Structure 1
Amino acid sequence: MRDENEGRTADGPSRRRVMKTAALATAAATVTGLGPAGTPAARAAGGPRTGRIDTHHHALPPEMRRWAVEHGLLPPEGGPNWGRWDLNKTLDTMDDLGIAAGVASAPAPPEIFRDRKLAVSGTRVFNESLAGLVQDHPTRFGFFAYLPLLHVDVAIQEAAYALDELGADGVLLMANAGGRYLGDPVFEPLFAELDRRSAVVFTHPAGLADARPVPGVEEWIADFMLDTTRAALSLVNAGTLDRYRRLSVILSHAGGFLPYLGGRVEHAGRQGEGPSPAAFRRAVRRFYYDTAMPASPYATPTLLAAVGAGRLLFGTDWPQVVRPEVDRTTALLDRDPSLSRRAHAAVNRENALRLLPTLARRLRK
């Protein structure tokens, strides 16, 4: 049996993948009808110095998967897409889509770390596993360290360890924990410490803290979007971004509904029923937004009008989003008429390099 890794270097595609990519470019144009210029495979030539930076990119290295299985979070076989993460498939997908590097994260429901000892040990497994992935493939991956929000003191300690010793590019915060959203005063010491370190915070939805699902409508379709929106409005209303000006906060999935309900928020603020319109406008322009579902053409015009291309980051949500959909959403982004050539360059790569200097240094070596 031929080794799947044959010919692959730690930081580049195998000879097999290079040859396969050329065939994919032609085949995909025929099957999808997108045409060579709009086909993701046609853009696979992008390398570490030119390719995309995927800031919404999930990973489950072997040690982390073993921990999840041992603690009943995943079945030994099968399970959700993210639970079947595979390094070779990931690198193949990145090569085909011209993704130079993925900033890996492992979002997990805060409730699994309700026990303090488990929070300490499990979080360490998560972050050391991702750090090992980066160490093995320094020009293909970065990572956002997971912080257990139900134990703020543990989160502070883990942030210091991950940022100072593991070389994390930032931290991952779930949108809510224990029914508390990120603007809650209980998280103030954590944000103060992250601000002191000028940290990048990647937020990810956890599921609504107090809602029942709509029958027939999966939670990720709308509830996750509202969860992100609630987290953002919580931060705005608490004045967190105004107090901590060195923080950079990425909102998943293009900010949920946040950029699209600005008029309603400002209307409420003028009536004294929410943050002031000025505070809301400042915050909207402070956040960063990844392109991982929603992608163009629905979201882009409003998002560009609200914040400009300089705050948008390329994201795929791989591997929770399956490969055909990652291909399609990436192709739609490439063909989006709302984005100029210069804006595409900013979204695909330049904004992330500016935001994540540690990763940028590795890619430029």
Structure 2
Amino acid sequence: MATPRAPRPATTPTPSSLTRRRALRAAGAGAVAVGAGLTSAPGASADTRRRGEGGPPGAGRIDTHHHALPPAMRQWAIDAGLLPPEGGPDWARWTLRETLEVMDTHHIAAGVASAPVPSVAFRDRAVAKEGVRVCNESLAELVADHPTRFGFFANVAMAHIDLAIEQAAYALDELGADGVIMMTSTGGRYLGDSAFDPLFAELNRRRAVVFVHPQGLPEGGTELPGVSEAIGDFPLDTTRAALNLIATGTLDRHPDLAVILSHAGGFLPYVAGRAVSAGRQGEGPAPDAVRRALRRFYYDTALPLSPYATPTLLAAADPTRILYGTDWPARPAGEVGAITADFDHDPALDPGSRRRINRDNALRLLPRLAARLKRGAAS
């Protein structure tokens, strides 16, 4: 989202919002059961046929770096002063219709939707409670309406760890989230800071998936004319977060946590040799910790990966740890097509690796989504 202005206080939930919440809890309970293999997803294929959204064939891609801004979330962002009532960035005009068109055009079976709200937006506790609720429930509603086309990563308010733990539990247990999204830093502290340990411990207990998304360098950067911060600062932000998780031991202390690094890990695979060398000199994380982490992290292709970075990432990580991602709609329709074509023709990838990255790895990592797609295909 755009750099936020000071958020306004949260509003008290209305009776209609409470009714919607009860409905989402019911939908989430169904998603949990499906993910555990306890029940089928009745009406899933009927839902897509009724809406004319049958989508691509069952072998379509799974987009794990896929953003969404449903109407309720957009209105909250406007009310909180995060977005202007009119205009704003192109991605703020997200629509379901265009999203499904882009997905179908590029054979994307499902997108795991997320909302990378800057952590500063949730610094006020009341705003954090209301904003995270709106974000997560609107994404859960998207999944409930289109169960074979979407999953979602839930927001948590990292500035308020007790609240974040509650929000994660509600999203995972009642809304059926596929994991949580975390911004790289909060209040100037990167994810490996000890303040976040209780949340990581709870997510590790749940064997959860964490999607790490950049938001720019916490101290700000020097603006380069004609060069977006998305080119250099965002990958560096992801790299810092990854190295911080390694150096603090957070990754090793939570072995059952699956961590996805946005944008192919930023610069991490490229600077891994430098990190190992620095560790041997006592100036960085232990070399073995770096090597373990490189093979442990998951990476999406939304750098974009192809054609330049693929050989480096494949030297650092196994193809089973790489996930297809587009960064839609921050990356517009035409660019989604361009980067997908580059990926499809990348000479560094053999057919088996491409198939795993397109779909198989995500289905193994995200069992709730996999179960819904399997039942939808069988109906």
TM bracket, shorter-chain basis: 0.7 to 0.9
1:1-365 counterparts in 2 under 5 A? 10-11=47-48, 46-47=56-57, 49-216=58-225, 217-365=227-375
Aligned counterparts of 1:105 and 1:360: Cα–Cα separation in 2: 18
Kept in 2: contact 1:107–1:174 (CA 8 A): yes
Distance 1:64 1:294 in 2: 27
User: How far has the Cα of 1:210 moved from its partner?
Assistant: 1.4
Residue 13 of structure 1, CA deviation = 10
- Corresponding letter in the other structure for 1:161: Y
Deviation of 1:60 (Å): 0.5
SS in 1 for 2:152: strand
Matching residue of 2:10: none
Residue 185 of structure 2 aligns to which amino acid in structure 1? N
Counterpart secondary structure, 2:358: helix
1:82 and 1:338, CA in 2 relative to 1: closer, same or farther beyond 3 A?
A: same
1:32 corresponding residue in structure 2: none
Deviation at 1:105, TM superposition (A): 0.1
In the aligned structure 2, how far is the partner of 1:343 from the partner of 1:54?
Answer: 16
CA distance in 2: counterparts of 1:225 and 1:131, whole angstroms: 29
For residues 47 and 305 of structure 2, what CA distance do their matches in structure 1 show?
31
The DSSP-based 3-state class of the residue aligned with 2:48 is coil
Is the Cα–Cα contact under 8 Å of residues 13 and 95 in structure 1 kept in the other structure? Answer: no
Structure 2 Cα separation of the partners of residues 12 and 109 of structure 1: 36
SS of equivalent residue, structure 1 residue 166 = coil
> Contact 1:13 / 1:92 at 8 angstroms: preserved in 2?
no
Contact 1:156 / 1:193 at 8 angstroms: preserved in 2?
A: yes
- Amino acid paired to 1:120: K
- Cα contact 1:179–1:209 (8 A) shared by 2: yes
Q: Distance in 2 between matches of 1:326 and 1:259?
A: 23
CA deviation after TM superposition for structure 1 residue 9, in Å? 7.4
Q: Distance in 2 between matches of 1:124 and 1:329?
A: 33
- Give the distance between the partners of 2:186 and 2:364, measured in 1 at CA: 30
Conserved 8 A contact 2:216-2:237 = yes
Tell me if the contact between 2:221 and 2:233 (Cα under 8 Å) persists in the aligned partners: no
Cα 1:99–1:13, aligned 2, differ >3 Å: closer, same or farther? farther
2:266–2:303 contact (8 Å) kept in structure 1: no
Separation in 2, partners of 1:13, 1:317:
28
Distance 1:9 1:334 in 2: 32
- Residue 130 of structure 1 aligns with an amino acid whose one-letter code is L
**Correspondence for 2:22:** none
RMSD between aligned residues:
1.6
Higher relative contact order (CA 8 A, sep 6+): 2
Task: Report the Cα offset of residue 12 of structure 1.
Answer: 6.0
2:324 maps to amino acid: F
Q: Are the equivalent residues in 1 in contact too, given 2:307–2:342 (CA < 8 A)?
A: yes
User: Residue 73 of structure 1 aligns to which amino acid in structure 2?
Assistant: L
The one-letter amino acid of 1:180's match is R
Query: Match for 2:151: what amino acid?
Result: G
Distance 1:13 1:346 in 2: 31
| Counterpart residue type for residue 48 of structure 2 | D
1:272-307, CA deviations, whole angstroms, 9 ceiling, x for partnerless residues?
A: 111111110001110000001222111101101110
Q: Give 1:21's aligned residue.
A: none
Code of the aligned partner of 1:129: S
Distance in structure 1 (CA, Å) of the matches to 2:47 and 2:170: 26
How many equivalent residue pairs? 330
Residue of structure 1 in register with 2:23 after alignment: none
Q: Deviations over 1:247-279 (max 9, x none)?
A: 000000000000000110011000111111111
Cα 1:351–1:56 change in 2 (3 A) is same
